[in-house]
Amino acid sequence: MLPIKSKYKIAKRLGAAIFEQTQTQKFSLSEARTKATKKPGRRGGSDYGRQLLEKQRVRYMYGLAERQLSNYAEKAFGAPDPSLALHRSLELRADSAVYKAGLASTRRAARQAVSHGHITVNGRRITTPSHALRKGDVIAVREGSRKSPLFAGLAEQENRRSIPQWITADFNQLKAEVVGEPTVAESGLDYPTVFEFYSR
């Protein structure tokens, strides 16, 4: 997983939505106080600054190294709809899908679950977080890993976060199925600006 020195510091610059830990009322109030006392500056005002910030938002949200995101963007650029192609590539990574399905509390936990071999795809154990999923694939917690603390209480958990329409989850069986494809509208990210950055 991409090492992060200070999630709160990064989130104040890129937005609270990129980390689960910063999506709290306490952080929102702290951010509001900071903005109220901060003097206006030029940071992020240029085209390059705007492009860099959006690229960093995507990179930190998905926990990618610079080279990884660059490779995804390069592959997506030749598609009829580059933004949609990039978004789907990122969302359909195994670690991202495990997180979105609610089988892990954070993206970091999802990546750990995959890399440690706790997750199967269509019954086969995987250890690569970037494993690309497709419609019809079934992701599940491996039988021998169901008693791991990583998955404790998932079946009984209340007030769990909403699951996107392209995934269905069965928490009693600790599995989920990709039943559709992600859409850009749900992302809240400005992918065209990311492509502008890489086109410089």
Q: Does pLDDT of 15 surpass 50?
A: yes
pLDDT confidence band for 147 (50 / 70 / 90): confident
> What pLDDT does residue 64 have?
94
Give the model's pLDDT for residue 152: 79
CA 150-131-161 angle, to 5 degrees, is 45
How many residues in the chain? 200
pLDDT digits (tens, 9 = 90+) for 21-44: 555 555 455 544 554 455 544 454
Examine the pLDDT at 5 and tell me if it is beyond 80.
no
* CATH domain 91-178 topology: 3.10.290
Cα–Cα–Cα angle for 151, 21, 90, rounded to 5 degrees: 75
Give the residue among 179, 169, 100 at the shortest CA–CA distance from 140: 169
How many whole angstroms separate alpha carbon 90 and alpha carbon 16? 19
Q: How far apart are the first and last CA of the chain?
A: 27
Please report, for the chain, the start and end positions of each structural domain, with discontinuous segments joined by +: 7-63, 91-178
pLDDT at 109 over 80: yes
pTM above 0.85, yes or no: no
pLDDT at 44: 47
d(CA 53, CA 50): 5
Contact between 150 and 109 (Cβ < 8 Å)? yes
Look over the chain and give the mean of its residue pLDDT values, rounded to a whole number.
Answer: 84
